[in-house]
Structure 1
Amino acid sequence: MKKVVTMVGTSIFENYVREIDDQYFGNDMEDLKEKAAEEYKENDPRIKRIKSKLEKWISEFSESDKEELSAEIKSLVKLKERFKEDFEVYLLYSDTAMGKLAAEIIRDVLQNMKIFKDSEIKKPDCINNLQIQDNEKFIIGMNNLIHKFYDEIATSGWGDNVIINITGGYKATIPYLTILGQVNKSPIFYIFEDTDALIEIPYLPLDIKWDLFEKYEDLFLEFNKEGIIEREEELPYNVKKELEGLIEVEGKLLYLNSFGLIFWEKYKEKYFFYYASEETQREIEKQLNIKKILQTKFWDKQIREGKTELKNGHYVYDDGNNRYRIFYIEKDGRIYIYKTFEDYGDYRYYLENVKGETVKFEDIKANSKLWKIIKER
């Protein structure tokens, strides 16, 4: 089943207005235009009126004509006809009430079309802060959109598994989504609403300086989920120049821009990063089974959490029917490993004699260095 990600715009409203002369509908839409997605429920009477009119209008379309309702529906139908496979459709909308309403209506239409009867139309997702009135919020919103791909959608791999449909939504997102698809070798499609031509963006080989991410790993790992660092000192001029185009600098504040985030997330896919003291790392280097677990299982958040137990105040990764154990702390998106065992007797002695509350995170952090290991899937 292919994952098809479709940005949702407002073409379904525009098409209605083009066909139906309805001043009251226009007034409701105008009142809704500046509302954020979180204000959706507060505007329930207005939304119900809009939905009711649209549902009546949609009911007059035959099955074969429904693709003309909106650019999103039309492009999805054309993609379905091209690939002839079942789809997992992700409808992503901007942080606006109109975006949420459009996505809900489009989902209802898709779920009732025969061509999508064996496909899964996911519940529409809001991309927080993705709006075009505030540039700072737009940058954060774009980063949230990129995280949505890396953290939730493309977890089983990129390439042909993920199709990016850039037909709908803000045109400002197109350059970022195009680069995202290019970097991950995922097909990108666009359709002009007034035509039936489905256009695939050709793949272009990109010359990416991956060595910059290796050189500045420590710096990139400091960025929080929103892509912001507040430093005590300004970034040196030569570093700013090297990272130009990947980060934005405002005094002591650094912002990882959306292009930087796309490339950084791609770079991270290859490695598992963790923190440990030099003493702990020397132990890991000698423990071939522990190294293998780090490479093949521990890096995977779902596996790690499923095999972690709280024992005597410690978070312990218990690999199962064997002797291998990893003691760690996960904080602020970072993993600090402070003890590893391949000998069961040594593990039991440590667990019974060292209470978790005596292990101070501040001490572990102060003595830790950044390490990485190549992931194996």
Structure 2
Amino acid sequence: MHVRNIMLSPVGTSILTNGLDDQENWRPPAGTANLQASQLSLEDKAAIDARIAEVRARVGDLTGASVVLPNLSAELNGINRYFADSDSRPTPTDQHYLIPSDTYVGDQAAQLVELVLRASGVTCVEIIRFKGLNTSSNRSFSRAVGDLSTWCGNVLPTRTDTSSRVVFCTAGGFKALVGYLTVLGMLHHAEISYVFETGEEGIRLPAYPLRFDETPFREHAVAFGRMEQGEELTTDEVSGIDGALLTEVGDDAYWMSDLASMYWGALKKEIYGERLLPWPNLEYRDPFVGGFEAQKDRNLRAAFQESLAKASVTLRSTRGWSSIGAAGLHYDRMEGMKSDEFARVDHFRPHENFRVLCGWDGARLVMLDLRSKNDFKSKYGGG
């Protein structure tokens, strides 16, 4: 069976700092490590941009096998060593995700690594950016790690999926992030690959599942889902959840701890795919429940549930239906449809191929029906 490689690599600045040919190693101007472009002085940005131009000119001349240079960057060496030291082989369908720090230097370095990968023939490369992923603020870094955990839960295959091999290449990136990624990798049944920048041999940890107590997340799935959507919960709302899974972020305001966000990210898709959850301010009618339960694809059911979580939190934060469209749900009115029960009847898209018919009663969004796009259009009209 063909197995696709999904490779996630944190990106540091070694592609900029490593010496070019016989040159000495370069260092960015002091005090710029955590800064955005707008925060840099003109002098410092000019120095960084000059170095970027030097490296870009060099890697722009590389094609094919010539890009496999051990001293080009830690990330590229890590990826190359993984395939050299394992039974796995690159395939045309492989997906590479690059995770830079939320800084000007880090983002530019990631773009250079992407350029080299594409020059070597890799076609599926994507830079994934997380706001606050730097060491300037502990709280911002914590939120960024939470966002990274959520992203992993949404994008990486579930632990029962055998069609893909997930590899975390941790040769690059800053140390604080690499530590979290090691735990995240084990939670997502990923291989962990590490190699020193110019090392001749890599270190590989096989996919070894990290076991933890899933009970709190299953029993309090709605609470964790709401926090993942950005809602801060009160003491009463987190009652029964172990304090180690929570972080106090204000007066009677709690959010998931870093540990909880990693656990939740690994479990969420599985939990969401099992059953409908009782999201606040939402109500389900039988045709909708039947439409949900008729879908046997757990990933599809998880996508539906993710949309319900977004709708619920949006309703609670805005106290109305009008902002649901801003949550990315493509919320539109059913023109011409009248109802004695609801102030308005609308529809939204929980997935590109499905539509939900819903009614607003002034306090709750009532889920009336769930159908495929074509069935929905045939029965109700609309898009």
Structure 1 match to 2:35: 35
Distance in 1, matches of 2:130 and 2:113, equals 17
- Which among 62, 68, 71 is matched to residue 68 of structure 1? 71
CA RMSD of aligned residues (A): 4.5
2:21 paired with 1:14: no
Structure 1 match to 2:252: 252
Distance in 2, matches of 1:49 and 1:341, equals 55
Distance in 2, matches of 1:107 and 1:90, equals 9
Distance in 2, matches of 1:125 and 1:37, equals 18
Distance in 1, matches of 2:159 and 2:220, equals 28
2:89 paired with 1:49: no
Distance in 2, matches of 1:55 and 1:222, equals 43
Deviation at 1:138, TM superposition (A): 0.8
Distance in 2, matches of 1:165 and 1:249, equals 32
Distance 1:329 1:176, change over 3 A: farther
Q: Is the 8 A contact 1:284 1:291 kept in 2?
A: no
Structure 2 match to 1:372: none
Distance in 2, matches of 1:126 and 1:294, equals 33
2:202 paired with 1:206: no
**Which segment drifts farther, 7-16 or 131-140?**
7-16
- Which among 185, 190, 194 is matched to residue 190 of structure 1? 194
Distance 1:303 1:235, change over 3 A: closer
Mark the runs of 5 or more structure 1 residues left unpaired by the alignment: 353-377
Deviation at 1:188, TM superposition (A): 1.5
Distance in 1, matches of 2:347 and 2:237, equals 39
Structure 2 match to 1:359: none
Deviation at 1:97, TM superposition (A): 0.8
Q: Is the 8 A contact 1:3 1:161 kept in 2?
A: yes
Structure 2 match to 1:356: none
Q: Is the 8 A contact 2:269 2:302 kept in 1?
A: no
- Which among 144, 154, 171 is matched to residue 175 of structure 2? 171
Deviation at 1:161, TM superposition (A): 3.1
- Counterpart amino acid of 1:76? I
Deviation at 1:336, TM superposition (A): 5.0
The one-character-per-residue Cα deviations of 1:297-337 (angstroms, maximum 9, x if unpaired) are 56535998999874235334799xxxx9852379xxxx954
Aligned with 2:30: secondary structure?
Answer: helix
Distance in 1, matches of 2:159 and 2:333, equals 29
- Counterpart amino acid of 2:303? D
Aligned with 1:91: secondary structure?
Answer: strand
**Length, aligned pairs only:** 326
Structure 2 match to 1:220: 224
Mark the runs of 5 or more structure 2 residues left unpaired by the alignment: 308-327, 336-343
Percent of aligned positions that are identical = 17
- Counterpart amino acid of 2:232? I
2:93 paired with 1:108: no
Deviation at 1:46, TM superposition (A): 3.6
Deviation at 1:96, TM superposition (A): 0.7
Q: TM-score, normalised by structure 1?
A: 0.69
Deviation at 1:132, TM superposition (A): 0.9
The one-character-per-residue Cα deviations of 1:246-295 (angstroms, maximum 9, x if unpaired) are 21235412121222112223332123344479x9657359x756631486
The one-character-per-residue Cα deviations of 1:66-121 (angstroms, maximum 9, x if unpaired) are 232111111111223332122322111010111012112222222223xxx2x225
Distance in 2, matches of 1:290 and 1:215, equals 21
- Counterpart amino acid of 2:293? K
Structure 1 match to 2:319: none
Higher helix share: 1
Q: Is the 8 A contact 2:222 2:277 kept in 1?
A: no
Deviation at 1:15, TM superposition (A): 1.9
Distance in 2, matches of 1:268 and 1:202, equals 23
- Which among 328, 334, 337 is matched to residue 311 of structure 1? 334
Distance in 2, matches of 1:156 and 1:217, equals 19
Distance in 2, matches of 1:219 and 1:302, equals 14
Q: Is the 8 A contact 2:10 2:178 kept in 1?
A: no
Distance 1:295 1:193, change over 3 A: closer
Distance 1:232 1:178, change over 3 A: closer
- Counterpart amino acid of 2:270? K
